[in-house]
């Protein structure tokens, strides 16, 4: 069973297309759609925005469906000049940029009383997602545009990043490629439950003063690119 978690309905829409449905269950207000895609058992859900919803959804998915891997998929703001709208980032590691006990001498993102700061994603899943993107590019399957794919640090927090100053800070502190609002929470829950996971996001905006306008304009296109990668990944799993 492969678990797929998106924050928003737009992000899940095209992933669910073509899925052979096999029931739905609801827990804590989140619906879990079971079914088959390319013959593989899949459970997917729209968790809602932010780390708390993401954590509720991930823990519930693990306890109720026992997935062998979890993918967190959707869109992100770019923190890198190398990533434009509709390009893709695959997280190598995730960290919560708003977990702040620096006053107690810990680095930003470190969870006091644990060994958790940067949480690494599963290398094999990462490599397979990257290969799927390279194949789709070779087939010109992203609507005529070559999609750039970078692997690196993704930061998550309960903030929509939309200023140059905050963006610069995240780059300086974490050397991050992209920001979003759920990935590090999914990562933490998967980490403590020892479930392999990865986070794949397509860029919807540049996390600066234009983000408020770019996000609604590009969320569908970026989500479609992420969905294409997940379809290819599942086809080849
Ligand atoms: N998801 C997409 N764009 C984002 C941004 N700029 N900040 C946080 N999450 C995002």
User: What residues flank ligand 1, with Cβ below 6 Å?
Assistant: 75-77, 160-162, 179-181, 204-205, 207, 211, 215
17 is catalytic: no
Write the pLDDT tens digit of every residue in 61-91.
999 999 999 999 999 999 999 999 999 999 9
Name the residue with the closest Cα to ligand 1, atom 10.
180
Write the pLDDT tens digit of every residue in 19-71.
999 999 999 999 999 999 999 999 999 999 999 999 999 999 999 999 999 99
What pLDDT does residue 15 have? Answer: 97
Residue tagged active-site, from 87, 180, 205, 214:
205
What pLDDT does residue 237 have? Answer: 79
The bridge status of strand 88-96 relative to strand 149-156 is parallel
Q: How many other C-beta atoms are found inside a 10 Å radius of the C-beta of residue 126? A: 18
Write the pLDDT tens digit of every residue in 114-133.
999 999 999 999 999 999 99
Atom of ligand 1 nearest to the CA of 162: 6
Q: How far is the CA of 20 from the centre of ligand 1 (A)?
A: 31
CATH level 2 (architecture), domain 2-236? 3-Layer(aba) Sandwich (3.40)
115 is catalytic: no
Q: How far is the CA of 46 from the centre of ligand 1 (A)?
A: 17
Q: What is the spatial distance between Cα 126 and Cα 96, in angstroms, rounded to a whole number?
A: 20
Q: How many other C-beta atoms are found inside a 10 Å radius of the C-beta of residue 112? A: 10
Mutate to test the pocket of ligand 1, among 73, 85, 181, 226 (most ligand atoms within 8 A of CB): 181
Domain boundaries, the chain: 2-236
Element (H, E) at 36: strand 30-37
Note the pTM of the prediction, 2 decimals. 0.97
């Amino acid at each position: 069973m492969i678990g797929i978690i998106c924050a928003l309905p737009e992000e899940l829409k095209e992933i669910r297309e073509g899925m052979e449905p096999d029931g739905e269950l609801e827990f804590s207000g989140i619906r879990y759609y079971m079914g088959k895609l390319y013959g593989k058992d899949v459970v997917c859900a729209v968790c809602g925005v932010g780390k708390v919803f993401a954590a509720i959804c991930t823990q519930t998915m693990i306890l109720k469906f026992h997935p062998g891997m979890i993918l967190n998929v959707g869109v992100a703001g770019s923190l890198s000049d190398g990533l434009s709208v509709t390009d893709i980032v695959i997280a190598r590691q995730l960290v919560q940029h708003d977990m702040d006990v620096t006053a107690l001498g810990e680095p930003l993102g470190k969870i006091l009383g644990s060994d958790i700061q940067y949480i690494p994603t599963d290398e094999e899943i990462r490599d397979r997602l990257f290969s799927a993107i390279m194949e789709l590019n070779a087939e010109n399957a992203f609507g005529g545009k070559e999609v750039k794919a970078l692997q690196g640090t993704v930061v998550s927090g309960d903030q929509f990043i939309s200023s140059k100053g905050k963006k610069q800070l995240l780059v300086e502190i974490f050397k991050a490629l992209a920001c979003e609002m759920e990935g590090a929470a999914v990562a933490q829950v998967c980490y403590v439950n020892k479930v392999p996971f990865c986070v794949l996001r397509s860029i919807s905006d540049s996390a600066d003063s234009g983000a408020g306008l770019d996000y609604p304009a590009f969320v569908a296109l970026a989500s479609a690119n992420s969905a294409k990668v997940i379809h290819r990944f599942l086809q080849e799993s």
